[in-house]
Structure 1
Amino acid sequence: MKLSAFFQQLSSSLVLLVVCSTASAALIPVNLAMQGTVSQESNPSFLTETQTGGGTGFYDTENDVLSYTYAITAVTDIYEYDLTGNSTLITATGAGIGAYTSCTNVRDDYQINICSYFSIGTDTPFQLSTSNIDENGNGILIFDFTTSDDVHYDIAYTVTSAVPVPAAAWLFGSGLVGLVGLKRKK
């Protein structure tokens, strides 16, 4: 009898927890995976940079805003560097603002400081060519543009929800139902 009352209280607490978490599910934790290239538009075979990396953040479903931090590694034939930063993006318009937080030269065959080209800590606006994230926090962000100094960016971020809460709730709930069924069978 005491065990049955415990399961009844636990299941009502679970229902309250699921309802409360659904009502305040405006912030969805997300993971980002990134890959792309940066090259000189007029001469793409000269110093084409390959970038890979990722990040984490939150997607605000009510305001359609993605806030994230990232770390990338950029490699060419003559240099390699690691870059970190953070950004905030209004996904409906593709407009955002970001800042680099650190840069480390990993390898530099020409002995130039690649990191000196980045303004660490300075907020810089940016515009995405594609920005599409659904209400579950899954989508894609694409930078595909050429700057005034002839540098072409072709970079894609894949955004995935870090915690699939509805699936986890269904799994946990079905487990509880199974435990209750076992108790009643005995």
Structure 2
Amino acid sequence: MKKAIVISILIFGLLASGPASAQYLWMDVIGEQTAATGDEITINFYAHAETADELSLFNVDVGFDDNELDYTSLTYASGFSEMTGFGLSATYTYDGSDAFTGASLIATVNGDPGTSSTIAMSAGDDQLLFSIVFTVTDVEYDWTGEDVWVEWYGGGVIAGVFWSGASAVEDVGTSSADATALGDGGADFAAPVPVPAAAWLLGSGLLGLVGLRRRSR
């Protein structure tokens, strides 16, 4: 019953943010990654508990650069299911990002381990929430931002990872002004940097000198 009340409040957007906590959301992979056109890239999203707590549910929005990536599939971690009974369902929205104009969004990616259950997490634990697979379509296209991020798109629903303890709600963003929730913690895919021809010539020249020196001995 308590879970149902929390979810109902979530839907109507009336739940105020709880005090700052040590719990947080993170993704793997992060930072600059090399990739080739046609590669399938899997991004895993985790909840982390710095202090012991119980994970109740989550509702986040995942933005991505659709000039470089195609959304392929979304898989929830074992034990989680979408809260479709409360009107929440993950939806791909072209050009739906609030963080970056022209970028796309997978809105209301949400999961609940059950209306009367939570997931107990000890201090330092990580819990996989969901995984998203993207296909690289144009690795030569690059921009100054990341290619995958978490944001709050302003669709009338509170976004965040919800805990049973004093941490209450760990927001990942509360408005379009605070849309880029993970800062520079997302993934950025780019083509491998080619080795300049001069470097190849230098390398082959050095190998030649080594060969000559061995013969002279």
TM-score (norm 1): 0.42
More helix by share: 1
Higher strand share goes to which structure? Answer: 1
Q: Normalized against structure 2, the TM-score is what?
A: 0.38
